[in-house]
Amino acid sequence: MKPLPRMLAMVALLSMAACTAEGTPAPAPQAEPARAVSTPATRTAEAQAAGTAQKASQKKIKIGIADITPMGEKTEKVGVGFPIIVTFDRDLRTVKDKAAVEAVLQVEADKPVDGAWRWVSPRQVVYRTKTYWKPHQKVLFTARLSELPGNERAKDVSRRFAVGTANISLVDTRRHVMKVYRDGKLAKKIPISAGKGGMMRNGVDVYLTTSGVHLTMGKKAVETMTSSWLGVTDPKDPRYYKEEIPWAVRISASGEYVHQSAGYYHFLGRSNQSHGCVRATPEGAKWFYTIAQRGDVVKITGTKRKLDWRNGWSYWQLNWTQWKKGSALATTAR
C-alpha cells in the first residue's frame, strides 16, 4: 500500500491496513469554489483571538486558500463528527504567521458548540469541535484573508455546511455486531466480521481492525480492493487478490471500510475473519451505504490495535486538551 502523502513513515506503518482500495490510499476531496463574502459577517471566534493575532504578527502575509473540505450545503450533508479542513496555497512556517491566519478564520453554527483549530501541516489547518456538532443545522466558515497585513487584495471566502442526521455507529469486534444510532435512537443491528489479525509487519498486526473513533470519509457503490499493499501484484502468487467489493464506506485513510462481505457470510456475527475491514451482510452494508454521510462517527472497540489520530479524519482520537495544543493562537498566548 502506498504511504500517505506528507506523513511520517512511522505513521504510515501504524496506519497500514490490508483491506485497501486499488490506487491511492485515500480519495482526495474535490475542491469546490469558495464564494466571495459580499457583506461583513458577525465574528464568533473567541474574543481574545483577534488581539492575540495582532500582537503575534505584523509581518506581511500573502496567502490564499487552495481547498476547503467538506463540500458546501448544496452538494452534500455531513455527519456530526465532521472536521473543517482548510488547505492554503503556500506553507506557513512560523507560529506567528499561523496565529495571524488562524485569527481571521471564523466558524458560526446555528447551534454553537466549542471548537478549535489545529495545524496538521505548514499549509493545512483543521477545525474540530469539543463535542459532536448538533444535527440538522447549518455551519458557516469564513476566512477573512483581506484582513491580513499585505494581503488586502485577497478575497474573503466562505462556505456553508449542512449537518444532517446524527449517525453514530458502535462496532463491537468481540461480539461481532455493529449498532447504528440515528439521532440518538437505535436504527439497526448489523452482524459483522472484523480483522482476524495474524499478519505482523514491524511489530504491528496489520490484519487487526483499528480501535477508536473513526469518521466516514467517502463511499463507493463498488470499490476495487487488492493485495498491492503487501507488495503482491503477481496473480500467480497465492496471496494475491483483486476483488470488486459492493457498498464500501471508507473509515480511514489506510484502507479500512465498512463493506459488504465478499461471501463468507457464515462468519458474520460469529468470528473475525477480514483483513482489517468491517464486513457486513449484503442488506446491512447496502443500508449503511445509503445513509452514510462524510463525517459520520464509527466507533470501533475490542481490538488491541489503536487508531492513530493522523490516519485520515481520526481527529477524535485526541482529547480536547490535546487537540487545542495544536492551535497557533494557544501557543502565542502562553
pLDDT digits (tens, 9 = 90+) for 284-306: 999 999 999 999 999 999 999 99
Query: Residue 12: is its pLDDT beyond 60?
Result: no
Cβ neighbours of residue 36 under 8 Å, at least 6 residues apart? 155, 156, 157
Burial class (CB in 10 A: 0-12, 13-18, 19+), 260: buried
| 103 phi, psi to nearest 5 deg | -70, -20
Q: Stretch 176-183: mean pLDDT, rounded? A: 98
Lowest mean pLDDT among 2-6, 131-135, 158-162: 2-6
Q: Is residue 2 part of a domain?
A: no
Question: In this structure, which amino acid lies at residue 86?
Answer: V
Claim to verify: residue 237 and residue 326 sit in the same structural domain: no
Same domain as 207, residue 259: yes
User: Of 176, 214, 275, 277, which is the active-site residue?
Assistant: 277
Q: How far is residue 214's CA from residue 15's CA, in Å, rounded to a whole number?
A: 12
3-state secondary structure of 55: helix
What pLDDT band is residue 227 in, cutting at 50, 70 and 90?
confident
Within a domain: 314 = no
170 and 282 share one domain: yes
Higher pLDDT, 200 or 334: 200
Averaged pLDDT, 295-319: 98
Q: What CATH number should be reported for the domain holding residue 67?
A: 2.60.40.3710
Looking at the structure, tell me whether residues 48 and 133 fall in a common domain: yes
pLDDT digit string, tens, across residues 83-111: 999 999 999 999 999 999 999 999 999 99
Q: What cell numbers appear for 118 in the block?
A: 489545529
Position 201 scores a pLDDT of 87
What is the average per-residue pLDDT within 32-53?
42
Residue 3 covered by a domain? no
Whether 308 is in a domain gets the answer: no
Domain count, the chain: 2
Report the pLDDT value the prediction gives residue 230, as an integer from 0 to 100. Answer: 78
pLDDT at 181 > cutoff 60: yes
Residue owning grid cell 495545524? 119
Q: Does 4 fall in a domain?
A: no
Judged on CB neighbours under 10 Å (0-12, 13-18, 19+), 298 is buried
Better-scored residue on pLDDT, 53 or 231: 231
Taking only Cα atoms into account, the Rg of the chain, rounded to an integer number of angstroms, comes to 21
Whether 259 is catalytic is yes
Looking at the structure, do residues 151 and 184 belong to the same domain, yes or no?
no
Q: Reply yes or no on whether 19 is catalytic.
A: no
What Å distances lie between residue 219 and 87, 214, 260, 293, 295, CA to CA?
22, 14, 12, 9, 11
Catalytic residue among 176, 259, 266, 275: 259
Within-domain flag for 268: yes
Overall average pLDDT of the 27-42 stretch: 40
Domain that holds residue 70: 35-164+319-332
The answer to whether residues 252 and 214 touch, using CB atoms and an 8 Å cutoff, is yes
Coil, strand or helix at 240? coil
Ranges 52-66, 243-257, 290-304, 310-324: which has the least confidence:
52-66
User: Do 160 and 231 fall into the same domain?
Assistant: no
The answer as to whether 311 is a domain residue is no
Cell 492513530, residue located: 308
Question: pLDDT grade, residue 18 (50/70/90)?
Answer: low
The answer as to whether 310 is a domain residue is no
pLDDT for residue 71 is more than 60: yes
Same domain, 46 and 16: no
Query: At 264, which CATH number?
Result: 2.40.440.10
Specify the pLDDT at position 22.
Answer: 60
